Every structure is written in structure tokens, then in C-alpha cells.
Structure 1
Amino acid sequence: MLAIVAAIIFGLGFLLDLLNVSIGSGISGTTFMLLGLTLLALHQAGIGTASVKSYGGWRGRTRR
């Protein structure tokens, strides 16, 4: 999910950079690029994934 949001953010940043548009005092295409990279890093770290296993959560099964 975070990768899809990052792709949308990258697209907006690309358009802002092409058109040389700055929103407000400090939001530009570079800001969107950095936000997209942050979202991709979170996605690669496993944050925001929807696959939670029902047999023990993130630890998995323990053998006895």
C-alpha cells in the first residue's frame, strides 16, 4: 500500500518539477521526491503490509 502511495507522490513531484511550480513557501518537487523515498523505505522495512499471520503473529510458530 505504501508503494502505491509513493508512486502517486512521485508522480505529483515529477509534474511539479516539470512545471516549475512551488506550493507555499517550501513545498516543491524535491519535497515530494523525498516524501516518496521515505514511503518506499517504510514499505521495504515491512511497515504497512497487510499480511499478518494468524498462527502467532510476527514471531511465527514455536516448536515444543
Structure 2
Amino acid sequence: MLAVVAAVLFFVSFLINAADITTNDVFSSGNVMLLGLTALALHVAGIGTGWSARRR
């Protein structure tokens, strides 16, 4: 799930950068890209991947 969030954040970052949209400092393309990298790192670390099966 976090990989999908990361992909959406990367796409939004690309659109902000490609369209040269003026945003405030919080939603600049670099900050949105860093949020995407954080979501991707959490996904790779195994957080937010879903339910795990119980082991007996």
C-alpha cells in the first residue's frame, strides 16, 4: 500500500516540477519527492505491507 502512495507522491512531484507550478514552501516538488521516498523506504522495510499470517 505504501508503494502506491509513494508512486502517487512521485507523480504529483513530477507534475509540480514539469508544469512549473508555483506552490508554497511546504508543497514544493522536492518536499513531495522526499515524502514519496519516505513512503517507499517504509514499504521496503516491511511497514504497511498488510497482514502477516500467524505462525504456530
Query: TM-score, normalised on structure 2?
Result: 0.86
List, as ranges, runs of 4+ consecutive aligned residues in structure 1 with deviation greater than 2 Å. Answer: none
Higher RCO (CA < 8 A, seq sep 6+): 2
For normalisation by structure 1, the TM-score amounts to 0.76
Aligned-pair identity (%): 47
Larger helix proportion of the pair: 2
- Which 5+ residue runs of structure 2 have no aligned equivalent? none
* Larger Rg belongs to: 1
Any idea what the Cα deviations from partners look like across 1:24-58, whole Å, max 9, x if unmatched? 2x121111111100100000000001131122xxx
Q: For this pair of structures, how many residues does the alignment match?
A: 55
Unaligned runs of 5+ in 1: 56-60
